[in-house]
């Protein structure tokens, strides 16, 4: 196989062809104006984070994450508590609310190192989604009540947005909240509610008025999941898991004090939250870990043949997704820097959502192709720690088919990618 020559440029970037033949682009990713390099302080911060993870990430949790096995609620909470003791459980929060006050590069470095080390992701619904809404639009009593418990991991949150028939067209939601004195009485249904079976609280968009435009009759409520009248029912997804749920509300009483902001102004808060959600859906850290796994799988010697990595067509596909991932990383850094400058994420968040989820789908598809026939005998039970049964293939193959099936939904949740392209076309291209 002919080896392509190494190519170098003069703008602090390099394109290197590895011994396996595929391209790797080394691109410093901290966008500070046109300066994309890390500072010495940021490099020292990376070393600090890496040392902390080496010393404090429980080995059994690390092993589960790196092997693609099921991570339990207790595992998530345990890791959150460890980070909380270090003051790192809310990496995107300002110091005013107990966060570390990290800059864009530090946030990115932290998430990058956590993903590479095999740390469980921090649950985004509290930390990255409802918390910024409470910080920006909530009153002082709500901030004092909810934010410390989110930071400590004492409250697990889920999101009540989508309904049957109201997903991408979220403004058409029908769940009613009728005000009766100091309470709202809520009736309706939410669906595709991720990890609602574990949640202590849910933030919900509810309809509080019907005599005006759809967007002008929605309010934003914080609801205790232990309230009488709430029923959670699992939805089994393609991978055989019960990650998402439908949640029913029957005469659920919610104090008016749990409404964030003004009545009938919830659409404004919902759009603010969606910008943060779509930014988080880029998933750069996980994608980088999956890319490494893809290269390892493709480098395995195939029975009666050569490693798939030696096929120039397959190598081209790996190179393409790696280039796209590098570009996504730079864009993610720019959006984080915007947020830190108090600029609300706009259509840039839609770019991250589209590109991030499509890269995730591409990586899971390439992993399936690299496994070949070993991807066919999918054993969901083998994803549980301590599975005693025999495996029909190598251990590293166990999670890949389920991961592929699960991520077919990635381009749909948080606003389908078709809707995101409409947003980009309208706000960035003027179409």
In terms of Cβ atoms closer than 10 Å to its own Cβ (0-12, 13-18, 19+), residue 386 is: exposed
Radius of gyration of the chain (CA): 23
In terms of Cβ atoms closer than 10 Å to its own Cβ (0-12, 13-18, 19+), residue 373 is: exposed
Place of tokens 């395995």: 300
Q: Given the DSSP bridges, would you call strands 201-207 and 218-224 parallel, antiparallel or unpaired? A: antiparallel
CA angle 130, 136, 137 (to 5 degrees): 85
Catalytic one among 111, 113, 163, 277? Answer: 277
Q: Which helix (H) or strand (E) holds 417?
A: helix 417-427
- Report CA dihedral (32, 38, 41, 44) to the nearest 10 degrees: 150
- Range list of H helices, 68-199: 73-86, 104-117, 124, 131-137, 140-152
Contact present, 297 and 370 (Cβ < 8 Å): yes
Q: How far is CA 326 from CA 66, 94, 276, 356, in A?
A: 22, 27, 21, 11
Q: Establish whether 96 is a catalytic residue.
A: no
Contacts for 12-19 with beta carbons within 8 Å, 24 or more apart? Answer: 12/36, 12/37
Q: Both ends of the chain: CA-CA distance in Å?
A: 47
In terms of Cβ atoms closer than 10 Å to its own Cβ (0-12, 13-18, 19+), residue 144 is: exposed
CA distance 270 to 187: 20
Select from 80, 420, 150 the least CA-distant residue to 282.
420
Alpha-carbon torsion (63, 66, 71, 75), positive or negative: positive
Tokens of 210: 């019907």
Q: How far is CA 342 from CA 95, 245, 281, 422, 424, in A?
A: 14, 34, 20, 25, 21
Q: Please list the residues that pair with 178 across neighbouring strands.
A: 185
> Mind telling me the catalytic residues?
277
């Amino acid at each position: 196989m002919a080896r392509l020559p190494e190519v170098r440029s003069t703008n602090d970037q390099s394109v290197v062809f590895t011994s396996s033949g595929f391209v790797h682009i080394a691109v410093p990713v901290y966008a500070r104006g046109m300066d994309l390099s890390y500072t010495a302080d940021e490099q020292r911060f990376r070393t600090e984070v890496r040392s902390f993870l080496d010393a404090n990430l429980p080995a059994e949790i690390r092993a589960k994450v790196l092997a693609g096995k099921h991570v339990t609620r207790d595992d998530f909470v345990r890791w959150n508590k460890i980070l909380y003791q270090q003051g790192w459980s809310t990496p995107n929060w300002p110091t005013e609310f107990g966060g570390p006050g990290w800059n864009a590069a530090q946030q990115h470095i932290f998430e990058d190192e956590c993903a590479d080390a095999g740390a469980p992701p921090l649950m985004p619904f509290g930390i990255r989604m409802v918390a910024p809404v409470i910080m920006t639009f909530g009153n002082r009593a709500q901030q004092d009540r909810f934010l410390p418990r989110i930071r400590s991991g004492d409250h697990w949150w889920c999101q009540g947005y989508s309904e049957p028939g109201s997903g991408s067209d979220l403004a058409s939601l029908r769940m009613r909240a009728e005000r009766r004195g100091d309470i709202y009485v809520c009736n309706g249904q939410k669906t595709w509610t991720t990890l609602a079976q574990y949640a202590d609280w849910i933030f919900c968009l509810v309809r509080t008025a019907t005599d005006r435009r759809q967007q002008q009759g929605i309010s934003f409520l914080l609801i205790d999941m232990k309230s009488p009248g709430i029923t959670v029912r699992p939805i089994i997804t393609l991978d055989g898991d019960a990650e998402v749920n439908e949640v029913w509300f029957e005469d659920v009483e919610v104090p008016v004090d749990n409404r964030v902001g003004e009545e009938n102004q919830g659409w404004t808060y919902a759009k603010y939250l969606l910008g943060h959600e779509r930014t988080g859906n880029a998933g750069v850290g996980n994608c980088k870990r999956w890319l490494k796994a893809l290269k390892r799988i493709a480098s395995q010697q195939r029975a009666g043949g050569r490693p798939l990595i030696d096929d120039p067509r397959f190598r081209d596909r790996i190179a393409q997704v790696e280039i796209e991932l590098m570009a996504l990383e730079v864009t993610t850094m720019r959006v984080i820097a915007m947020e830190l400058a108090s600029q609300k994420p706009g259509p840039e968040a839609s770019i991250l959502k589209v590109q991030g989820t499509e890269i995730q789908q591409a990586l899971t598809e390439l992993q399936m192709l690299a496994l070949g026939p070993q991807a066919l005998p999918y054993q969901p039970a083998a994803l549980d720690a301590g599975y005693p049964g025999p495996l029909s293939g190598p251990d590293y193959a166990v999670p890949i088919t389920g991961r592929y099936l699960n991520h077919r939904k990635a381009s749909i949740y948080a606003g389908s990618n078709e809707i995101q392209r409409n947003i980009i076309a309208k706000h960035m291209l003027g179409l």
